[in-house]
Structure 1
Amino acid sequence: MGLLSWLILSSHALAGDVSHQHFFSPTLDHNYPYTVYLPDDYDTDATTPYPVVYLLHGSFGNERDWVTRGNLPQTADRLIAAGHLPPTVFVMPGSRSWWVDGYNEAARSAFFNDLLPHIESTYHVGGERHLRGVAGLSAGGYGALNFALERPELFAAVAALSPASYAPAPPANSSARRHPAFLDEQGQFDHERWEALNYTAHLENYRLQVTPRTTGERDISPVPLYISAGRSDVYDAEFHARLLRQTMERIQPDDVRLDLYPGGHTWRVWRASLPAALNFMFQHIDQPSANAAE
């Protein structure tokens, strides 16, 4: 067999399986779409469950974006084959909202109440914190960060790529200002709603849970956070990413990383930062000893 033929067969043998699925969501009262990546040789009878990472799309995106534009299958295949990641299930859900219970859709509630139980009953993935991560880009980074801060007991790590986690308000050119998730009955952007749903609203409760008390005990260990941004982002993501890092370092100084990339608010930046994000996350996911006491 020639070298080229061997490489083609080898790459095919190592490829994960991608499929598009849906299930009925009682919260949404309609079908909930998602794309799932199952690693090569995925085994429903494996002795131990697979880790699972939820990847959230951006504003006005959909459940296919990470596959068609983000190179998730190719990146996962390569990192798993190289031993940087264990065989992992990736779930890429679809949402009409910014991953919040907004004016148009209860996306946050549907994620926690419907999607997670569905995935954990359908696939051989772990239901424990150390086997679960969440990540996203732009509005999906906003959502992933919110999820991890609100429910730190559920996630071992979080990655926010160019997160649209703007504080105190989104810039004038942000799609948040015209997205139905944040538009009131008069079609106006609801600033109070934004503040109530943004990551800043979760910080104090999160801090109380992850900060050691005088006894040295704490409710739960912090959720390590990876952040990336493009240096020429039209939404000034670098500034907001730096602000987010500074804010989170006050709470968990050893569990925050920020990478900056040349480029804007584009898939080029997100594809470039995805391997680093996953490598960072898997320093903490699939590590049961780190959370054994919690």
Structure 2
Amino acid sequence: MFIHKLPLSSYRLNALFTTLIGWLTFSGHSLASEVEHHHFYSSTLGYDYPYSVYLPDNYDAQATAAYPVVYMLHGSFGTDRDWVARGNLQQVADRLIRAGHIPRAVFIMPGSRSWWVDGHNEPARSAFFNDLMPHIEATYRVGQERRLRGIAGLSAGGYGALNFALERPELFAAVAALSPASYVPLPPRNSSAWRHPAFRNDQGQFDQTLWETLNYTAHLEEYRLKVTPRGIEDEGDLSPVPLYISAGRSDVYDAEFHARLLRQAMERIQPNDVRLDLYPGGHTWQVWRASLPAALNFLFQYVGQTDSVAVEDEQARAAPPAEESTESIEEVSG
């Protein structure tokens, strides 16, 4: 085990958040958190599972109360170090925690050779649920209940985070998908999905059936039945998983178009629990860095909240929405 501390770099927040936390942007302020890189043997994979972990300032492994935890998934052909090395996760989390906008939390950034699916190259989905999550909960003082867990991802990681939340809504309080590669009905021809080993069969061809079976559209109906009340006797205790989506307006994979399709599909199930932010830019780290503060602020409206806050949220969802709040797209410049 070793600890790797990243130096503070200059970070230009999106204009929406400049007025909110801009006064905290001090070039000489050192990072108080720690980022560590680890691995453990995964019996599902048959080899070591890498992950990076962000621990907040003064993290206490013996703390009475568990820390909220958010799992952050990387993109296609990425690594567990991307969110810190390229996404400024450590700096952004430190600033939001210092400002009191999000609680002191643990961020887990796993690595995968797949698109977070049980694909042709590795059972990444099964390894995440069966090996990674139990390992993290046994190793760190993090919550083991839904209200203390969130999940997020970018591009292929957004595809995976969305699928995980829809498939297992009992596990996550909220989900954020940044430029999610959740393409319908198929990925655009320039997408890496066509050449990724997760979706290439033994003949080296793209497995269209596998894509359609694993994409979010295949999970929608079962998810709807889990989170939609259907009468007093049949009403379940699962509330919807609030969803944050972002996309760049000039994304070469038409992420804005597919994000709008996703928003429409999810709003049919949970009209008050979907937010879409659109940014200038493409399928790049510039867009993902710009949208990360908004994504984390959204997630922690739900992750780590007390039961009383959750009840208030449920009551707010049940109330008729204000007329001026019906527009779910927020234009963001920067």
Q: TM-score range by the shorter chain?
A: over 0.9
Conserved 8 A contact 1:56-1:93? yes
Q: Matched residues in 2 for 1:241 and 1:218: separation?
A: 29
| Aligned structure 1 segments of 4 or more residues deviating by more than 6 angstroms | none
1:239 aligned to 230, 252, 257, which one?
A: 257
Structure 2: which amino acid aligns with 1:251?
Answer: I
Structure 2: which amino acid aligns with 1:250?
Answer: R
Paired residues for 1:67-78 under 5 Å:
67-78=84-95
Determine if the alignment matches structure 1 residue 275 to structure 2 residue 293: yes
Determine if the alignment matches structure 1 residue 18 to structure 2 residue 46: no
Give the match's secondary structure for 1:223.
Answer: coil
Instruction: Please give the per-residue CA displacement for 1:176-234, whole angstroms capped at 9, x wherever unaligned.
Output: 00000000110000101000010111100000000011228224100000000000000
Aligned length: 285
Note the aligned Cα RMSD (angstroms). 1.4
Report what 2:59 is aligned to.
42
Conserved 8 A contact 2:302-2:310? no
Report what 1:3 is aligned to.
none
Question: If the length of structure 1 is used for normalisation, what is the TM-score?
Answer: 0.94
1:257 aligned to 275, 282, 286, which one?
A: 275
Determine if the alignment matches structure 1 residue 90 to structure 2 residue 89: no
Q: Matched residues in 2 for 1:51 and 1:172: separation?
A: 39
Report what 1:4 is aligned to.
none
Q: Matched residues in 2 for 1:291 and 1:277: separation?
A: 19
Give unpaired runs (5+ residues) of structure 2: 1-25, 315-334
Once the two structures are TM-superposed, the CA of residue 291 in structure 1 deviates from its matched residue by 5.3
Report what 1:119 is aligned to.
136
1:134 aligned to 132, 137, 151, which one?
A: 151
Answer 1 or 2: which has greater helix percent. Answer: 1
Once the two structures are TM-superposed, the CA of residue 46 in structure 1 deviates from its matched residue by 1.3
Determine if the alignment matches structure 1 residue 29 to structure 2 residue 46: yes
Q: Matched residues in 1 for 2:200 and 2:27: separation?
A: 50
Conserved 8 A contact 1:95-1:107? yes
Q: Matched residues in 2 for 1:68 and 1:272: separation?
A: 15
Quote the sequence identity (%): 76
Conserved 8 A contact 1:103-1:182? yes
Conserved 8 A contact 2:227-2:239? yes
Give the match's secondary structure for 1:24.
Answer: strand
Structure 2: which amino acid aligns with 1:66?
Answer: W
Structure 2: which amino acid aligns with 1:199?
Answer: Y
Conserved 8 A contact 1:221-1:291? no
